[in-house]
Amino acid sequence: MATTTSDVQIDIDAHDAHHGPEKGLLRWVKTTNHKDIGTLYLWFAFTMLLIGGAMAMVIRAELFQPGLQLVEPQFFNQMTTLHGLIMVFGAIMPAFVGLANWQIPLMIGAPDMALPRMNNWSFWILPFAGVMLLSTLFMKGGGPAFGWTFYAPLSTTFAPESTDFFIFAIHMLGFSSIMGAINIIATVMNMRAPDMKLMDMPLFVWTWLITAFLLIAAMPVLAGAVTMMLTDRNFGTSFFDAAGGGDPVMFQHIFWFFGHPEVYIMILPAFGVISQIIPTFARKPLFGYSSMVYATASIALLSFVVWAHHMFLTGMPIAGQMYFMYATIMISVPTGVKVFNWVTTMWRGSLTFETPMLWAIAFVILFTIGGFSGLMLGIAPADIQYHDTYFVVAHFHYVLVTGALFSIIAAVYYWLPKWCGRMYNEKLARIHFWWAVISVNVLFFPQHFLGLAGMPRRIPDYATQFADFNMISSIGGFAFGSSFLLLTYIIVSCIRSGEPIEDERVWESAKGLEWTVATPAPYHTFNEPPQKDKILSESSHVGAH
């Protein structure tokens, strides 16, 4: 530990050997190491996933049959609201930032993130924001009960007192996201191996780079929305109150101007993950790398000009409805290109089906189903019948659970052996996959029927004709929820006692700079940047695989 400057200059390897992590718990508080922070993000996200999942279990238990059996409507609304907020801001987004922290420096041959201390800060804001958000449940009048979209005036004039804490928590989550995004952009732009051109970068890095720009553009808009709420609630303004000259629909415009890019923030990195995994197990370079990059960029640009498709029923002028309909269905073109590219990557490959590949294939199929229902929802006149029903609930759970979450699980199975130098239990992992993939469809597929049959979302009790599908959905929900106990066991036992791996290349056909460092990945990597020939031979999108 007590190395002198000259030691470092003389022998970088020796420096590596005795500059490891600090001992004790303070290591995690003070750390500026991208791998440590990635780990912190991932464990935080996993904890929040379990908390948000427990709330989903409360929701599905109450909806198991008609009538109120377990929770009062007001508490039910708090559950749906916090489930959404925690899954979006606590689970999915931090999990992707965690993956970015671990993987981006490894994939671009960088020694660490560009701004390590800010990295520490952006993580450590999160637990405080999360705890503040959850603490509202124990306040007088209960937590936020106005849905994760918190439409005014339900979230202003008619909201519980704890709403001000909710606003503060959102502000803090926003700070964290923006700092994380700045760090990722700075890292990709400045820390990349000098010989790596932008179009040499793995697709996961590309999708995250684009996502980071989305975050910087979208999160301040959300901060603006909640700040206006704050002043409406406490300082006598009337941004969203018609009685004072404001407009409640303006809230929705502002919210969705953030909210629509937000949904792409949660799916673009998933596209990146899948684009890394499929070539590995198809033993074939990714088909259409550059079209994937352009498709990602065009999805990101389009995401800023389609927000009002969430608002077809707010009384928009017909010209507005037409424009937002056309712009929205346009998104299915670049998204389709991605799916076609993945399928073509598999075509005439030499496929094997290790667990990460199973999750990736499930992602492609189930995310595409979510895409189809998205296309249907984008058709303005048809949206009249779908809007605010369980059809929408089914749609966004297909893209966010079997989309975003499945890609995160795939990524963890794919990279965990590299991170900890141990293999997970393949047999248990397969059981977990089939358990989860079957139950998640039992959970969400019937919700399409419920929506078409006329069941609105966010209701704690329902008419008896919805009973059957709700019960099926709840049974699927309990099964899917319990699959995460198995996942916890698989991950913990892998880290603690999985079979040790020596190979640098954990998967025989994997390409990428992360597979050139030792296994488990040492605390410090790429003190010297990789050379051009190595970068090219490790590319997962050019040359022989």
Partner 1 sequence: MLSRRCSVCSADASSNRFIARYTTKFKVKSNAIASWLLISFFFLPLSAFADLGFNLPKGVTPVSQNIYDLHMTIFWVCVGIAVVVFGVMIYSIIFHRKSRGAKASNFHESTAIELIWTLIPLGILIAIAVPATRVLIDLENTDKAEMTVKITGYQWKWQYEYLDNGVKFFSNLSKDSRERSEMGKVGDYPDHYLQDVDNRLVLPVNTRIRFLMTSNDVIHSWWVRDLGVKQDANPGFINDAWATIQKPGVYRGQCAELCGKDHGFMPIVVEAKSKEDYAAWVKEQQAKQKAAAAAGDREWSKDELMVQGQKVYSSTCAGCHGVTGQGIPGTFPAIAGSKIATGDVKEHINIVMNGKAGTAMQAFGAQLSDSDLAAVITYERNAFGNNTGDLVQPATIKAAR
Residues with a known catalytic role: 83, 112, 148, 176-177, 260, 262, 264, 275, 309-310, 335, 338, 457
Following DSSP, what letter does each residue of 134-193 receive, concatenated? Answer: HHGGGSTT-S--STTTT-TTTTTTTS-TTHHHHHHHHHHHHHHHHHHHHHHHHHHHHSS-
Burial readout 457-496 (b: 16 or more C-beta within 10 A, e: otherwise): bbebebeeebeebbbbbbbbbbbbbebbeebeebbeebee
When binding is defined by CB under 8 A, the residue of 168, 323, 340, 484 that contacts partner 1 is 340
**What burial class does residue 63 get, using C-beta atoms within 10 Å of its C-beta: 0-12 exposed, 13-18 middle, 19+ buried?**
buried
Q: With respect to partner 1, which residue has the nearer C-beta, 24 or 245?
A: 245
Binding to partner 1 (CB under 8 A) within 460-479 occurs at: 460-465, 467-469, 471
Residue 248 binds partner 1, judged by CB under 8 A: yes
Among the residue ranges 180-188, 284-292, 435-443, 530-538, the one whose residues contact partner 1 (CB under 8 A) = 284-292
- Cα separations in angstroms, 15 against 10, 102, 401: 9, 21, 43
Binder of partner 1 out of 118, 172, 249, 297 (CB under 8 A): 249
Q: How far is CA 78 from the centre of its chain?
A: 22
Interacting residues of 265 by C-beta distance below 8 A, sequence separation 6+:
93, 211, 214, 215, 218
Which range, of 44-52, 347-355, 488-496, 528-536, touches partner 1 by CB under 8 A?
347-355
Give min distance, CB of 204 to partner 1, in A: 17
Does 426 help bind partner 1 (rule: CB under 8 A)?
Answer: no
DSSP state of 124: H
Contacts (Cβ under 8 Å, ≥6 apart) of 478: 57, 60, 61
Residue 352 CB, nearest distance to partner 1 (Å)? 5
Binding mask 290-309 toward partner 1 (x if CB under 8 A, else -) reads xx------------------
For the CB of residue 500, give the shortest distance to partner 1 in the complex, in Å.
25
Query: What is the dihedral angle through the alpha carbons of 28, 32, 34, 36, rounded to the nearest 10 degrees?
Result: -10
Q: Which pair of tokens denotes residue 482?
A: 């319990």
For partner 1 (CB under 8 A), the number of binding residues is 103
Torsion-angle region of residue 13: left (phi > 0), alpha (psi -120 to 50) or beta?
Answer: alpha
Q: Is 515 left (phi over 0), alpha (psi -120 to 50) or beta?
A: alpha
Asked if 329 and 379 count as a contact pair (C-beta separation under 8 A), the reply is yes
Judged by CB under 8 A, the chain residues 100 through 129 that form the site for partner 1 are none
- Residue found by looking up tokens 């294939």 in the block: 361
- Minimal distance in Å, beta carbon 35 to partner 1? 31
- Alpha carbon distance 358, 424 (integer Å): 15
CA angle, residues 69, 74, 80, in degrees to nearest 5? 85
Considering only residues 524-543, where is the footprint of partner 1 by CB under 8 A?
A: 541-542
Q: Based on CB atoms, which residue is closest to partner 1, 495 or 542?
A: 542
The phi and psi torsions of 444 (rounded to 5 degrees) equal -100, -25
At its nearest, how many Å lie between partner 1 and the CB of residue 526? 26
Closer by beta carbon to partner 1, 32 or else 291: 291
Among positions 254-283, residues that touch partner 1 (CB under 8 A) are 282-283
Is residue 284 close enough to count as binding partner 1 by CB under 8 A?
Answer: yes
Positions in 313-332 near partner 1 (CB under 8 A): 313-315, 318, 321-322, 325-326, 329-330, 332
Tell which one of 23, 140, 427, 496 touches partner 1 (CB under 8 A). 140
Binding to partner 1 (CB under 8 A): which residues in 350-409? Answer: 350-353, 361, 364-365, 368-369, 372, 375-376, 379-382, 384-385, 387-389
Q: Please list every residue from 24 through 63 that binds partner 1, using CB under 8 A.
A: none
Q: Which DSSP symbol is given to 422?
A: E
Residue 261 in tokens: 């890019």
Question: Among residue numbers 155 through 174, which ones bind partner 1 (CB under 8 A)?
Answer: 157-158, 160
Tokens of 316: 């928009």
Cα separation, 341 vs 278, in Å, equals: 10
- Separation between Cα atoms, residue 33 and residue 200, nearest integer Å: 25
Residues numbered 61-80 forming contacts with partner 1, rule: CB under 8 A: 65-69, 72-74, 77
17 near partner 1, rule: CB under 8 A = no
125 or 331: CB nearest partner 1: 331
Residue closer to partner 1, measured from CB, 177 or 328: 328
Nearer to partner 1, 461 or 504 (CB): 461
Q: Which of 260, 373, 246, 249 is nearest to 324 (CA)?
A: 260
In the complex, minimum distance from the CB of residue 174 to partner 1, in angstroms, rounded to a whole number: 23
CB of 129 to partner 1, least distance (A): 24
Closest separation between CB of residue 275 and partner 1, Å?
A: 12
